Amino acid sequence: MRRIRRPHRGFTLVEVLASMVIMGVAFGVLAQGLASAARASSVSQAYTRAMAVAAGKMAEVEAGGYALTQNITERVEEDLYDFDVVITPMQTTHKGLFEVTVEVKWLLHGNEHKTLLTRYIHEALRKKT
């Protein structure tokens, strides 16, 4: 009786190793993409918080909480971030009109970031407390 030879089923060792290398490279690229996305998300979150701090400080200036005659520097500490806030009022050529700039700085991932918010405020229109 004659034996019928069947083709071998399965993968060769070379095929298995090649697929493992391809999967390893793909997972490495995927991990880098996720890390990059997480970093971008934290930068965006910090920028959003900084703008909220700047808007809050500007509202305090508009409400009369700060004098328009001097620069103010203060530190705002939050759960995730510490912000350095500088409020700079500047008299314009029009009487009673001030250009007020709120600068917010913070450190994230070893880099300093900053944002500016500038408005014109007339002294007569400020809310008196």
pTM of the model: 0.70
pLDDT reported for residue 21: 95
Return the DSSP state at 110. Answer: T
**pLDDT tens digits for range 77-117:** 887 778 888 988 888 888 889 999 999 988 888 888 888 99
**pLDDT tens digits for range 22-75:** 999 999 999 999 999 988 888 898 899 889 989 998 898 888 888 888 888 988
- Alpha-carbon span 40 to 52, nearest angstrom: 18
Residues whose CB falls within 8 Å of the CB of residue 118, separated by 6 or more in sequence, listed in order: 99, 100, 101, 102
Output the CATH code of domain 13-125: 3.30.1300
DSSP 67-102: -TTS-EEEEEE-SS-EEEEEEEEEE-SSTTEEEEEE
Domain residue extents for the chain: 13-125
